[in-house]
Every structure is written in structure tokens, then in C-alpha cells.
Amino acid sequence: MARIILASSSPYRQQLLHKLGLDFQSCSPDIDETARPDESATDLVQRLAEQKARAVATLYPQGLIIGSDQVCVNQGQILGKPGTLERARAQLLDASGQRITFYTGLAVLDAASDRLHSMVEPFSVVFRNLSEAQIDRYLNKEPALDCAGAFKCEGLGISLFERMEGRDPNSLVGLPLIALVELLSQFEVEIP
């Protein structure tokens, strides 16, 4: 079996991939993640997942490369990582009472044969109607400045939701494991 490489430096994705019990390495891809004019969220994440896998394949020409990228969409707008408390607060205020959809692009590339399988996994969360005080308390306890949408569903962020909709909650963290198992099986990687 080819050596498995995760084309990501994200500690969140690495933690998720460890759940599958695979021996893997991580390598950060160096690509331009800028959206193209009029590019849809789904097209963007699929393209970036594939580009990340291909970028890392140049360093691991015999590897089985996993690429992933994610965006968060609220009312048709792609949200980035907030970076500051002010932007995190604004993202959560805008999300209050709304359905937010995360699109995660996933690609698996056999670098030796250039065989690629990719897909996009959607996952939605419906936020409760949140007061400014609730948002401030959340950000005081868990300032998720490095997470699109400004929350961590694997932490206290779960308290912000009315419900979650989708087949794999791991998608919210950035690596849909159910879909990944399906893609890896196409490369004869059997889990468990």
C-alpha cells in the first residue's frame, strides 16, 4: 500500500484522521486559495482539495494523498476564519437564527498513477436565536478565531445550535470521515 499523506497542516484534520487508525504523514501544501470570480462554494472547495493533493504529490510521487478544503456559507456569502474577536462576533450575530452550510471538498490522489477521486460533502447547522450576551459569553470562553463560522462544534460551540443536518458531523471540523472511507476504498485501503 502506498504511504498515506494528508495534504494539510491543520491539527483538526490530523486529529480526525487519527480516528481511522491509519499510519500517515502530514505535509502543508503551498497553493493560492483565492476564489475565482463567480466560483461557487462547491466548485471552490473541490478545486482546492484537488490542488492541495496535487501540490503535495510532487513531494511524494508514490504517495496516496488526501486533500481537503472547507468553506462556510451564510445567506449566500462565503465566510472566512474571523481572525479577530470583532469579526467572530459579527459572524455569530449574522448566524443567529440562520442555517449555515459547510461544504468540504475531499480528494484522494494516487500520485504514482495520477488516479484521482474527489467529492464535496455538505453539512448544515441551524443556529438558535442568540442574544449578544450569549455570543459574548461564548467568545469569552472559546474564541474560535481560526475556525470559519467562529465556532468549534467539538467544544462549547455545540450549545449555539438548534440542530445539525448531514451525514457526518466530522465534516464541520474539516475532514468528512465517512466520505473519506468511501474514497479510500476505491484505492483498496480497507477500514477497519
Catalytic residue flag (residue 38):
no
Rg (CA), the chain: 17
Point out the catalytic residue in the list 43, 69, 114, 146.
69
Q: What share of the chain is helix, strand, coil (3-state, %, to 5)?
A: 35, 25, 40
How far apart are alpha carbons 89 and 119 in whole angstroms? 32
3-state secondary structure 117-148: EEEEEEEEEEECCCCHHHHHHHHHHCCCCCCC
Inter-CA distances, 125 with 46, 73, 103, 163, Å: 21, 11, 12, 6
Kindly report the backbone phi and psi dihedral angles of residue 63, in degrees, each rounded to the nearest multiple of 5, phi listed first.
-85, 160
Contact criterion met (CB below 8 Å) for 160 and 128: yes
What does DSSP assign to residue 151?
Answer: -
Residues catalogued as catalytic: 69
